[in-house]
């Protein structure tokens, strides 16, 4: 009886500690944005390592703000997550009420309608050429997708838009896919200096079924897969991965 009570008490203490850890992990403050911040697909001005890591999506990320804008930087070392983002994009949603649902979202990069014409090259050169083609794809992206904004119609808008939304994606020297987002606080309905936690939804979108059919058809004919989208066959590629988190605005450095 005493042993049972001790076990019950121990479990309760552990559960309480876990609850405390989970609660304390929520509503973390943003970082104050670097003074020299530039949305260029490079993480050179950001403190290393990035602030958080999520094991479901395999993303490193930092959320920051200044007086006017909110910034998100994501670094993706995982090849499968890279492949999914290269084909279907990453969606980052922000709910100013702090509720973990809905919100205004931006999906980028949209590379699916861009073709660079993969050349026929020797196997030994494919990795190098593939890397260059991926960079070329990202450099040629012309649109992003937005949803849920009060002042912006849902749908695709130009990368260079009049709404103040900035996005870019690139590969760094270590082979990580780096995605950066900058967005005016007013576009999200967030007053500067607000103490209300903002809920963020990160979603690595699934590769399209058409990609799998195309790859299987090419392999059946003995053809090489298209280099900008080279990847290993794996069921996880065709399922999205996502998570929610909440953070408050940084007030100053």
The closest of 83, 147, 139 to 114, measured between CA atoms, is: 139
Can you list the positions of beta strands (E) in 101-189?
104-108, 143-147, 155-158, 166-171, 177-184
Q: What pLDDT is attached to residue 167?
A: 98
The closest of 196, 240, 227 to 59, measured between CA atoms, is: 240
Interval 161-216: pLDDT, tens: 999 999 999 999 999 999 999 999 999 999 988 999 999 999 999 987 766 666 65
Q: Computed over its alpha carbons, how large is the radius of gyration of the chain?
A: 21
Q: Is the pLDDT of residue 122 over 70?
A: no
| Entry pTM | 0.80
Partner residues linked to 31 by β-bridges: 64
Q: Are strands 52-54 and 59-65 parallel, antiparallel or unpaired?
A: antiparallel
């Amino acid at each position: 009886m005493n042993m049972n009570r001790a076990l019950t008490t121990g479990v309760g203490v552990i559960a309480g500690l876990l609850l405390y850890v989970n609660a304390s992990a929520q509503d973390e403050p943003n970082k104050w944005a670097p003074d020299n911040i530039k949305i260029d697909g490079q993480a050179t001005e950001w403190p290393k390592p990035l602030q958080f890591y999520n094991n479901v999506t395999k993303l490193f990320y930092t959320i920051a703000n200044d007086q006017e804008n909110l910034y998100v930087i994501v670094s993706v070392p995982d090849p499968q997550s890279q492949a999914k983002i290269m084909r279907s994009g990453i969606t980052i949603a922000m709910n100013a009420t702090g509720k973990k649902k809905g919100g205004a979202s931006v999906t980028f990069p949209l590379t699916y309608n861009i073709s660079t014409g993969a050349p026929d090259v020797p196997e030994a050169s494919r990795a190098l050429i593939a890397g260059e083609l991926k960079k070329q794809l990202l450099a040629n992206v012309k649109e992003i997708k937005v949803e849920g904004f009060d002042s912006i119609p849902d749908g695709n808008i130009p990368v260079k838009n009049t709404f103040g939304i900035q996005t870019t994606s690139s590969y760094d020297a270590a082979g990580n896919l780096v995605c950066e987002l900058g967005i005016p606080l007013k576009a999200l309905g967030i007053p500067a200096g607000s103490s209300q936690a903002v809920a963020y939804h990160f979603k690595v979108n699934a590769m399209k079924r058409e990609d799998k059919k195309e790859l299987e058809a090419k392999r059946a004919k003995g053809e090489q897969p298209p280099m900008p989208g080279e990847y290993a066959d794996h069921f996880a590629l065709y399922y999205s991965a996502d998570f929610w988190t909440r953070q408050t605005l940084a007030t100053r450095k």
